[in-house]
Amino acid sequence: MEQQHLIDLAYLVAGILFIMGLKGLTHPRTAVRGNLLGAIGMLIAVVATLCDHQVLDYQTIIIGIFLGSLIGAVMAIKVQMTAMPQLVALFNGLGGGASVLVAFASLTAENTTETESLITNVAIVCSALIGAVTFWGSLVAFGKLQELSFLRKPARFSGQQVVNLLLAAATLLLGLLVLGYPQDMTYFSIFLIAASVLGITLVIPIGGADMPVVIALLNSYSGLAAAATGFVVDNNVLIVAGSLVGASGVILTKIMCKAMNRSLFHVLFGVLEAVGEVADADEVYSGKIKSTSADEVAMLYDSAERVIIVPGYGMAVAQAQHAVRELANELESRGVEVEFAIHPVAGRMPGHMNVLLAEAEVPYEKLKEMDEINPSFAQTDVVLVIGANDVVNPDARNDPTSPIAGMPILNVDQARTVVVVKRSLSPGFAGVPNPLFAADNCLMFFGDGKQAILDLNRALKES
């Protein structure tokens, strides 16, 4: 057997390990092992590649791997759980960027015959296009999640869709030019610039609450970029791994879109459906808001048998997850049944709330999905909403003219009492007032999320 065959077999083993690794992620108990299998698969793929006789320059490689491992490890160990969406966005971008550079390097180093090189060149163009969009799109997403001031407002202008469409068409045309003149680096450079600008303009109009969709989509792109690179360097393990990740991102994107009742098209082009008129906030709220205090909420809990906690992005911002866990523990020690209701798009990425609560050592069995917990709100004494808004807005269910009509929500309004921890009455991402706050069974507990829960814990212990 030739050496190349052994290397290919090693790639097959790596591919199988990636699939088994993802399979391990289907349950929290097997997930750590699954992740480890994926990492072993990667190690095998890298070692096999290094055995390739084409690979000569070991010194450069060792330096590169050392540098990358060091930076990656420091980032992974230092990052706070609340900053996870940014980190994932950044990693996505790096994967995409690597694809672009490999495409570039392959184009300059090319020395195959003409018919064969056309196929390779198509792969190079695809890999560079997807990679550049992923890289720049992810950097913008990172900036938005990090709340860099110049990216804070979604940048929208009229005719934006047309501009993006024209830009996409121009990029594709430039891609064709590259195919025609593969040796001319000027065309390739202009093509890369166009693809980069496209990546930026695609993500820049997208607002905060749509971020879960964008991250999932960029995740998918980073996989597709890797798969395209696999066609460039003629390597099957890249194709397998890339398509697995591409598929994963597509599914997550679909789940996120469904949870917001928005089409992918509308998210991508920053369109908020303008159906009917947005109700006037003063009209909805005037005279109907009941403000409450820690002591009052503590008294409510004294007579409660079943409590549901609904976390949102506000909990992440306030870093209140540990205080929330303490509250849940205190209530449980008094014999109260406590569960957490997790909306699929709560937070800034899929599963964001689950990670934060896991960090605070809330057992994952206590975290309930929307469909599972919704029927039980009617039998719940107190619901505590912390830092969530649009995902608990009953207008989505009741008012067909509301901009968020049809979005699946957590039916917290059906509980006996709802306590909403919030800084002010400011609207959520959808920009609509929330009639829940004015409902008879709703009490507003104004304040910083963490401080409010800490006060509540103190009041509970004193009572």
Partner 1 sequence: MDVSTLITGLTIFALAVFVGFEIITKIPPTLHTPLMSGSNAISGITVVGALIAIGSGSDSLATVFAFIALVMATINVVGGFLVTNRMLEMFRRKK
Query: In angstroms, rounded to a whole number, what is the distance separating the alpha carbons of residues 384 and 417?
Result: 9
Q: Which DSSP string corresponds to 361-393?
A: T--GGGEEEHHHHGGGGGG-SEEEEES--GGG-
Strand ranges across the sheet with 382-386: 367-369, 337-342, 306-311, 382-386, 417-422, 442-446
What gap in Å lies between CA 117 and CA 113, rounded to an integer? 6
Nearer to partner 1, 110 or 295 (CB): 110
Q: Which is nearer to partner 1, 101 or 166 (CB)?
A: 101
Sign of CA dihedral 421, 426, 432, 435: positive
Residue type for 16, please? Answer: I
Minimum distance between the CB of residue 281 and partner 1, rounded to whole angstroms? 32
Q: Could you give the CA distance from residue 83 to residue 79 in angstroms, rounded to a whole number?
A: 7
**448 among known catalytic residues:** no
158/260 Cα distance (integer angstroms): 24
> Between 200 and 358, whose beta carbon lies closer to partner 1?
358
Which residue among the candidates 210, 390, 395, 455 is catalytic per the annotation? 390
Choose between 282 and 361: whose C-beta lies nearer to partner 1: 361
Q: How many CB atoms lie within 10 A of CB 217?
A: 26
* Min CB(93)–partner 1 separation in Å: 9
The least distance separating partner 1 from the CB of residue 75, rounded to whole angstroms, comes to 5
- Judge whether 303 and 240 are in contact, CB under 8 Å: no
Q: How far is the CB of 334 from partner 1 (least distance, A)?
A: 18
- Type and span of the H or E element at 144: helix 114-145
Q: Contact 353/310 with Cβ under 8 angstroms? A: no
Nearest distance in Å: CB 20, partner 1: 9
Rank residues 359 and 381 by Cβ distance to partner 1 and give the closer one. 359
Question: Which pair of tokens denotes residue 292?
Answer: 């409450």
Positions marked catalytic: 390
